Structure 1
Amino acid sequence: MSPTEARLEILRTRLQQYIDCEVAILSGAQSYSIGSRSLSRANLSEISDMIRYLEKEIALEEAKANGRGRNKVVGVIPRDF
């Protein structure tokens, strides 16, 4: 497995975990209380932001794997003709 494939697998796993978390929050698992104690889970907007970020990262990694990655300038040699 190449490093790009390994990174893609990790990103996809994390994305699925964030999606599962978002579903749990949307179904009412954001906070609860027992007696005088209460527990609040993650913020929905932060989770949504991370989902968008991971989707972009996955798209970039897939583009690199397919040979369509960003072109980078490593160095420029000025010439005077």
Structure 2
Amino acid sequence: MTQAKQMLEKYLEAETAVLEGRSVTFGGRTLTMADLNQIREGRKEWERRVAAEAAAAQGDRTGYALATFV
């Protein structure tokens, strides 16, 4: 499992825990319902990274390319 997938799993677990009314300690911080938006933003970032890794593994070109003009 890649680091991006591991981090996505942690964010999903944290989001579930907070939605169930529990607080969760993540990265040395205790997060509660007030931090749900922050957890969701982190989850979205790791979802993007997992998708980019999957696309790269399939040979899809994502992002941008730089051209050198002489």
User: What TM-score results when the alignment is normalised by the length of structure 2?
Assistant: 0.73
Q: 1:74 Cα deviation (Å)?
A: 4.2
Q: 1:54 Cα deviation (Å)?
A: 0.8
Task: List gaps (5 residues or longer) in structure 1.
Answer: 1-7, 32-39
Q: 1:30 Cα deviation (Å)?
A: 3.2
Larger Rg: 1
Runs of 4+ in structure 1 deviating by more than 3 angstroms, as ranges, are none
User: What TM-score results when the alignment is normalised by the length of structure 1?
Assistant: 0.64
Count of paired positions: 62
Q: What are the Cα deviations for residues 37-80 of structure 1, in whole angstroms up to 9, with x where unaligned?
A: xxx62510000011111111111111111111235124122xxx
Out of 57-66 and 14-23, give the one that drifted further: 57-66
How far apart in 2 are the matches of 1:65 and 1:74? 23
